[in-house]
Amino acid sequence: DHHDPVHGQHLGILLVELGVGITVTTVMTSTFFIFSARKRP
């Protein structure tokens, strides 16, 4: 049943985890490129 509260809760947790993962990856990538550009002589 798609209207099961547990199913909705798991879907919500999955979406939150995915959003956090994307955010962390974006921040880490941006930080890496910023430091890489800054290390030029």
Tell me the pLDDT tens digit for each residue of 1-36: 567 888 888 999 999 999 999 999 999 999 999 999
Question: Which pLDDT does position 38 carry in this prediction?
Answer: 86
pLDDT for residue 26: 98
The answer to whether 23 touches 29, Cβ cutoff 8 Å, is: no
Cβ neighbours of 5 (radius 10 Å): 8
**CA pair distance 21, 13, nearest whole angstrom:** 12
pLDDT of residue 41: 66
